[in-house]
A = this chain, B = another copy of it.
Amino acid sequence: MLYLIGLGLHDPSDVTVKGLQIIKTASRVFLEAYTSILGVGKDELEKFYGREVMLADRDLVEQNSDEILRDAIDNDIAFLVVGDPLGATTHSDLIVRAYEMGIKFEVIHNASIMNAVSCCGLQLYRFGETVSIPFWTEGWKPDSFIDKIELNLERGLHSLCLLDIKVKEQSIKNLMKGNKIFEPPRFMSVVQASSQLLEALQNRQIKGISPKTVCVGLARIGSPSQQLVVDTLENMSKVDLGKPLHSLVIVGEVHPLEQTMLNIVCKTETK
């Protein structure tokens, strides 16, 4: 059996009791280590579980998944994913491969930023389509995310923006030379995301969104150092929220109870 187990948002104790029981008894345990990060490393997880955990990078999951699934017809394999296991496309690939090999699978759900974003005081059912903001490079500045935000705002809906993560990526030079040398991990900050949004707005006008649009910056949700800031987009591009992971919400129409909650749970740093 393949168990895809969500680890939740921050530390080892965010796993569910059910998930932990499976981790303790599985024959092998893999930690998916490239689409998100916990607030703790592999060592702390191993200490908490009392057993060895193997890191699964993109290569292993996407190119060599048969190695993960080896023996899984007769043994239990635990595949650990930060947040909920079905947030990222790539884990569908692993499920499809397991299915083709005749291996049963089960998903142990957990919190992910997709529902925990409600901690900022905005109601989940008032969010529209989720948006991904990729790291821009000198020659590659895709901005289709801004169209999705516009369509959400037209309906008064909030937009959760998931900010890009680059873990174990190769430079184009190293990729072409076949050098297995990896760049340091990068996690997009609220400052970077807001700056890219502001630059996109300079290039073309978008109805309903401007530098004065209200946003919420979220950092390290679910951790003791969680930070929530509400401010305009232009101020958000100057607010240092510290260590990753960050997310950004573009706020739509705010209901009175949402406003009360925003006032209670979010700070305004730049006023």
Contacts and interface: CB of A to CB of B under 8 A. Distances in A.
A157 B99 CA distance: 26
B18 A17 contact: no
A58 B111 CA distance: 25
Given A118-B87, A155-B151, A8 B264 contact: no
A84 interface: yes
A257 B162 CA distance: 21
Interface string A72-98: 000000000000101101001101100
A261 interface: yes
Q: What class of interface size applies to chain A in its complex with B?
A: 35 or more
A114 interface: yes
A109 B115 contact: yes
A246 to B, nearest CB: 17
Interface of A: 6, 8-9, 11-18, 20-21, 84, 86-87, 89, 92-93, 95-96, 99, 107, 109-112, 114-116, 118-119, 121, 123-130, 132, 151, 155, 157, 162, 222, 257, 260-261, 264-265
